[in-house]
Amino acid sequence: MIRLVGLAPMTQFIRYCEQTQAPTRTLQWLDRIMNLSMVCYYPLEHIYWLGAHRIIPISEKLVDDAGYWSCRFWAIWIALQFVHLGEEYRVIKSRRQKIYTQGKVDAAQMQQELDAVDADTKSWWIQLLINTCYFPLTMHWSIRGSTFPDVAVGCFGTVAALAQAYNVWHATA
């Protein structure tokens, strides 16, 4: 049921992305395309969920089609997130290099900047792990008759969920 409220945060995030300048033009455009994939994903996911739970009367074929297409749009988001992560990594590397090559600076300030870059790098690795786990799942749920084993779905889903829980815990600690 909580899936149905995903549209509100998504629209807020789209608005935020448009009002906030990304570090690079590539990231700005990736955010826009990824947001567009979510604009397509959410209504299809809602149709799927409401139809699968017989809350709205629609055919099984429409329920199945909505489910597959929602996962395909999610898979597009995941694929683009790999590109996004690549660009983010380039930005993080550039920030680290800039810290080391800047002129005379206070050692404490330099350490503080390096700590911030290290935190961003750690976050980047966790996002890469989450994305790597979700990619095979989105492919599996996007392909009719996929033979991806249930145990792999459970393992990948568990690792992704634990990594996301760690991110939430770390953000609030």
Quick one: pLDDT at residue 3?
A: 64
Give this prediction's pTM.
0.89
Q: Side-chain half-sphere of 76: how many Cα atoms within 13 Å? A: 17
DSSP 129: H
Quick one: pLDDT at residue 170?
A: 85
Across 131-163, b (16+ Cβ under 10 Å) vs e yields bbbbbbbbbbbbeeeeeeeeeeeeebeeebeeb
What band does 4 get if pLDDT is binned at 50, 70 and 90? low
- Gap between the Cα atoms of 49 and 63, Å rounded: 8
